Structure 1
């Protein structure tokens, strides 16, 4: 009965205690109201523990003692100092690791530095998961600066995480916590790292060892004589301050360069690329050498100018690379007389080109642009392309035809009898708007050989789902290529004039060969339209840019994906690979240009300056150090690919400054300051950020720029249609 009475007023367990204790507890419970006093919870715990001890419930007693020790007298959890110390250990351990790596031998630094990013990410996520808000925020802001260039998108996502619930809902956090970060480094560097962290256990080394064990999948590689980890290779990279190629690095499908989304442990994330120039056929090389000797004999070089033969030999030496694909991989046909004449002309143009150097004393190179504007088109021009001999321009029209003009105003030649001489031709055959045109590779005419080296063909793609091949001799359609089942947004020739590439609304890019009626390769992987396509200069790889905001790189010989680049915030509208073959430039309709390092599979940097609406064309200088772009905002902009390090102002280089969209021109002076001339009497638009990479901007009056192209002599030509609002 006493037990039941106690149960009505509070806990039933005081039955085993003395009557005085039980009465005191019950009276306190009944008079204390719903909020017991400070010492009451502690007294009740002691009473219960005594009861459990006398009854022999040892396990229950131990559990209650442990739980009681973690609470204040009023029942609130105790904020112990051990948690704060464990949080501080992450910060202390990471700083200790960073100092040790920077003081290490140069041959190990590139390997060890690659450990920083995954350890940083998982340490931060562990701190947030442990609900250590203060320490997690301090850890993030203490070390994020060293990763801002390479991992800007992931950092932006991590900065929004502050609570344990965020770790479970944030997409980036789920990617990292849902898979182990894969890394391949030399065994010596890794074993030295683990030994160092174990020695620094009290300085936070133990928590970093836990991060490596729980969240990293480290593949240790022995150095071999023929591998990237050979001692000679490591020393050379250390001298050049270069990193290792990111082979097997990252989380499959998330690493910016990863094209392989398989989670199998044996799969490679980043395929080693062959980015060197395609070697010249031996017979072609000998024929070109002989022709150049004859040219030098007829027209000796000017004083101080190298001969054509010596310039050709120097280029061959520069282009010799172990990283080059073979001609057999692409099944290239044997060379003909036209190939010899084209190579001879290319050597002439390359030797006599206007050489563009990088910035000197903060002043950018003097790049000028020749702009061709089409009037009275009434918004019917969809696309433009210039021939590589700089004599023709073609436009794809919304009225389903292609029109070709002579840039010098001379009548276009024709092999068909009875055709009237004209400075333009209409090519009729499509049954839908024409969205892309592309001239076959060509060079300026070479009078000494007497061989025609101008463009022989023109490709056009249309909303009618077909691609057509047009003859520049007869001005008629030769072939209709069918394979896509939706509109074809883009088409472009390969560098050797045999293969071409298309991108379509059916979410595929396709590789074609002019002498085959069906496509050779279908590149499938994008979730939305493939809006733009491009070739690598050596012809061994192709690129596809999509409305899913992803750029993919594919191997031509097998059709397999080798890179996937994510980071655009708008639909990708234009791409171009540098002549050196190392960097890809991609542009979007949000006004951003991103440069990608192909070998490392990483974002190199962003450049901003165009307004929204689409950057429709990008092109590289011969030296691969200057980029030119044009787009819907009616400007042609010149960009320095490698800006000088000292040019920093108001923060990190490349952040840019805000200028008014209504400006009529921007330029950068010797101190990398951006100047803007305000528009007159117009409603002010949204502000546009112009990064310090921009060298100059050439505004048109009201002409969106459809195409811009560097010639082989480093001159820029651009084209657009007058479009009054």
Structure 2
């Protein structure tokens, strides 16, 4: 009070003397002192409020989490789906309000709950620590702009609503109302579990998915394909055999009338021919692309392979033989085997491709790694193909086996001749590394998948792509042709599989349900089903016509790197990083269980000692080909040569590999 009185006396004196400048300076100093005092008081009050507000997020979420985990098991599965979106939005709201330290503590406290299913999203959000990061981070922007779809039954919804109202948890209630779209469905939770398509898709994305999946597609096989010609050939032979049988029967009746009854023998040409009942009628479709002409020798050999193909099932399972890569030193990125098993190719991190001739395996070679004479006296039957300027991530043989495609980190695709052992063409178009490349079932055309979020369709006679498929939200990791060549399927790190029309370049199906990046895709021989495997070990079987998941296949505990259907489509083989190959009964998916769900029966699990499975392939003779590696890489093929097969399965036990004394070589030995 005394200070105020003194200041008033000084101000009056300055006014009397008309010291205007000094008066203004004194007034400004007084105002500054008053503002500093009020600012300090407000800072203390605001700091106390901030501590309370930041603590409310952690306290409210912890109570919700404990309530969900203590719920009945029947409803817990549905209620657990809301925890992840609530957790993410609590974290982002803390960051948006400037509570960086509290947001970090909140994130670390509960991240382990969601790590198994959302590890990639959590890795992206972990670096968001300022409000500016929220505007720049793609994942954060997507979550802020879109509501998340969560399905649950009526009773689960009522339980959740009752909890939020009874605990007066307005903070959690506000997040649920603002960022989650609860879709309440009739029925019991057990029936809804297999119908869950979501991995918490944003509402706008879900609307796009539903609109896309309404488009019409044609899932049949190609008219004039080898399978079509083979079926027509068999039908003609059966018709001829029936005609010969009828003629012999008429002749036997005539002889019986004359008293000369003889035993009638079936003609040798028609022996063994039997019409197999078809499970479903597979339509024939005309190709939308111009189909290449196959050579007569290749077509004749392929038809013979189809004729000798063994029908697989629960009582006819394959045996196993192995080949081992030695001294790969963890540099092998990919491998591929030709359809007839004559060639094996591997793509390496040093930008080289190594091509093995399986017929010459073990024979002395006049050439070796970098030319002639490097390892004289050694058994080396591979050719080293050099041309790429980056690691080779994908290789694939043509149906005839006379050419090889390779995809590389140098953003190019190269065409190689297996007869000339030379590079024929280099295809440029991608802007970033190319992860995968695959020939069409008829050759000539091929598709590629890249880090630039596109898939592209090419032809061997053009250096530029024919079609560019753009739409994925992240890099495209794998690509697979449909059997009728009218569609390609792509798997992406955005956790979706898309089906594209090759003629128009339009996306006609979006399959959602995976919770991690898609790394492998396979098409059934009839073109109706598609299987996809992800990084978490989950496999999903899709119905292309209805765009629905027929059944999830659970069992693998590691990344499913490869999938392959048997020749007639009755068995699906899956190779995983968990050191196993699993065989699934596809025909079992047509059997509907009591709870109106479909299940695929696991026929057999083939374990290795400690080596993850890399690739699987099936030839026209139902020859299973696959590779796996740890320090060494083992190639095994399940063979049915000569129309025979084993009635039981042998475990995949890799042969003991010994390190060769020569420096730096990669060799393939039989195990």
Q: CA separation in 2, counterparts of 1:587 and 1:342?
A: 32
Contact 1:397–1:434 (Cα < 8 Å) also in 2: yes
Contact 2:325–2:632 (Cα < 8 Å) also in 1: no
Count of matched residue positions in the alignment of Structure 1 and Structure 2: 432
Q: Judging changes above 3 Å, is the alpha-carbon distance between structure 1 residues 724 and 479 closer, same or farther for their aligned structure 2 residues? A: closer
1:408 equivalent in structure 2: 359
Q: Mapping of 1:456-471 within 5 angstroms?
A: 456-471=402-417
1:714 equivalent in structure 2: 622
Q: 1:616 aligns with which of 555, 558, 561?
A: 561
2:55 equivalent in structure 1: none
1:536 equivalent in structure 2: 482
2:396 is the counterpart of 1:438: yes
1:388 equivalent in structure 2: 339
Q: Mapping of 1:374-523 within 5 angstroms?
A: 374-410=325-361, 423-442=381-400, 455-523=401-469
2:290 is the counterpart of 1:331: yes
Q: Please give the secondary structure, in 2, of the residue aligned with 1:371.
A: strand
Q: 1:277 aligns with which of 221, 232, 236?
A: 221
Cα displacement (A) at 1:528: 1.0
Greater per-residue helix proportion: 2
Cα displacement (A) at 1:355: 1.1
Contact 2:498–2:507 (Cα < 8 Å) also in 1: yes
Q: Judging changes above 3 Å, is the alpha-carbon distance between structure 1 residues 600 and 458 closer, same or farther for their aligned structure 2 residues? A: same
Q: Judging changes above 3 Å, is the alpha-carbon distance between structure 1 residues 344 and 640 closer, same or farther for their aligned structure 2 residues? A: same
Q: Judging changes above 3 Å, is the alpha-carbon distance between structure 1 residues 367 and 519 closer, same or farther for their aligned structure 2 residues? A: same
Cα displacement (A) at 1:254: 4.0
Q: CA separation in 1, counterparts of 2:611 and 2:572?
A: 20
Q: CA separation in 1, counterparts of 2:268 and 2:436?
A: 41
Q: Please give the secondary structure, in 2, of the residue aligned with 1:618.
A: strand
1:587 equivalent in structure 2: 533
2:166 is the counterpart of 1:152: no
2:557 is the counterpart of 1:629: no
1:694 equivalent in structure 2: 602
Q: CA separation in 2, counterparts of 1:395 and 1:348?
A: 29
1:143 equivalent in structure 2: 188
Cα displacement (A) at 1:708: 1.5
Q: Judging changes above 3 Å, is the alpha-carbon distance between structure 1 residues 289 and 365 closer, same or farther for their aligned structure 2 residues? A: closer
Cα displacement (A) at 1:125: 10
Cα displacement (A) at 1:121: 7.2
Q: CA separation in 1, counterparts of 2:553 and 2:279?
A: 30
Q: Please give the secondary structure, in 2, of the residue aligned with 1:346.
A: helix
2:491 equivalent in structure 1: 545
Q: CA separation in 2, counterparts of 1:525 and 1:517?
A: 23
Gaps of 5+ in 1: 1-117, 158-170, 180-250, 261-268, 443-454, 656-691
Q: Judging changes above 3 Å, is the alpha-carbon distance between structure 1 residues 508 and 384 closer, same or farther for their aligned structure 2 residues? A: same
Contact 1:471–1:478 (Cα < 8 Å) also in 2: yes
2:305 equivalent in structure 1: 349
Contact 1:413–1:473 (Cα < 8 Å) also in 2: no
Q: CA separation in 2, counterparts of 1:141 and 1:519?
A: 48
Cα displacement (A) at 1:624: 1.1
2:552 equivalent in structure 1: 606
Q: Judging changes above 3 Å, is the alpha-carbon distance between structure 1 residues 129 and 381 closer, same or farther for their aligned structure 2 residues? A: closer
Q: Judging changes above 3 Å, is the alpha-carbon distance between structure 1 residues 520 and 318 closer, same or farther for their aligned structure 2 residues? A: farther
Per-residue displacement from partner, 1:422-463 (whole Å, max 9, x unpaired)? Answer: 621110111111011000002xxxxxxxxxxxx110000111
Q: Judging changes above 3 Å, is the alpha-carbon distance between structure 1 residues 307 and 491 closer, same or farther for their aligned structure 2 residues? A: farther
Cα displacement (A) at 1:276: 1.1
Per-residue displacement from partner, 1:129-159 (whole Å, max 9, x unpaired)? Answer: 987999xx9x96853443333x2245xx8xx
Per-residue displacement from partner, 1:300-343 (whole Å, max 9, x unpaired)? Answer: xx9898769979xx79x99986x54323x21224x35x1x3333
Q: Please give the secondary structure, in 1, of the residue aligned with 2:208.
A: coil
Contact 1:369–1:715 (Cα < 8 Å) also in 2: no
Contact 2:324–2:632 (Cα < 8 Å) also in 1: no
1:568 equivalent in structure 2: 514
Per-residue displacement from partner, 1:348-397 (whole Å, max 9, x unpaired)? Answer: 2222222113x4xxxx6423333322121110111010001111110001
Per-residue displacement from partner, 1:61-110 (whole Å, max 9, x unpaired)? Answer: xxxxxxxxxxxxxxxxxxxxxxxxxxxxxxxxxxxxxxxxxxxxxxxxxx
1:366 equivalent in structure 2: 317
Cα displacement (A) at 1:481: 0.4
| TM-score relative to the length of structure 2 | 0.56
Q: Please give the secondary structure, in 2, of the residue aligned with 1:489.
A: strand
2:585 is the counterpart of 1:640: yes
Contact 2:560–2:574 (Cα < 8 Å) also in 1: yes
Cα displacement (A) at 1:124: 7.5
Cα displacement (A) at 1:632: 2.0
Q: Judging changes above 3 Å, is the alpha-carbon distance between structure 1 residues 318 and 377 closer, same or farther for their aligned structure 2 residues? A: same
Q: Please give the secondary structure, in 2, of the residue aligned with 1:573.
A: strand
Q: CA separation in 1, counterparts of 2:611 and 2:189?
A: 43
Q: Please give the secondary structure, in 2, of the residue aligned with 1:253.
A: helix
2:208 equivalent in structure 1: 253
Q: CA separation in 1, counterparts of 2:502 and 2:631?
A: 39
Per-residue displacement from partner, 1:674-693 (whole Å, max 9, x unpaired)? Answer: xxxxxxxxxxxxxxxxxx73
Q: CA separation in 1, counterparts of 2:272 and 2:450?
A: 44
Gaps of 5+ in 2: 1-148, 166-181, 242-264, 374-378, 634-671
Q: CA separation in 2, counterparts of 1:615 and 1:508?
A: 22
1:232 equivalent in structure 2: none
Contact 1:553–1:562 (Cα < 8 Å) also in 2: yes
Contact 1:585–1:596 (Cα < 8 Å) also in 2: yes
Per-residue displacement from partner, 1:236-266 (whole Å, max 9, x unpaired)? Answer: xxxxxxxxxxxxxxx63244xx5x3xxxxxx
Q: CA separation in 2, counterparts of 1:305 and 1:715?
A: 28
Q: Please give the secondary structure, in 2, of the residue aligned with 1:518.
A: coil
Per-residue displacement from partner, 1:552-590 (whole Å, max 9, x unpaired)? Answer: 000001100000001111211111101111111110110
Q: Please give the secondary structure, in 2, of the residue aligned with 1:713.
A: coil
Q: Judging changes above 3 Å, is the alpha-carbon distance between structure 1 residues 632 and 145 closer, same or farther for their aligned structure 2 residues? A: closer
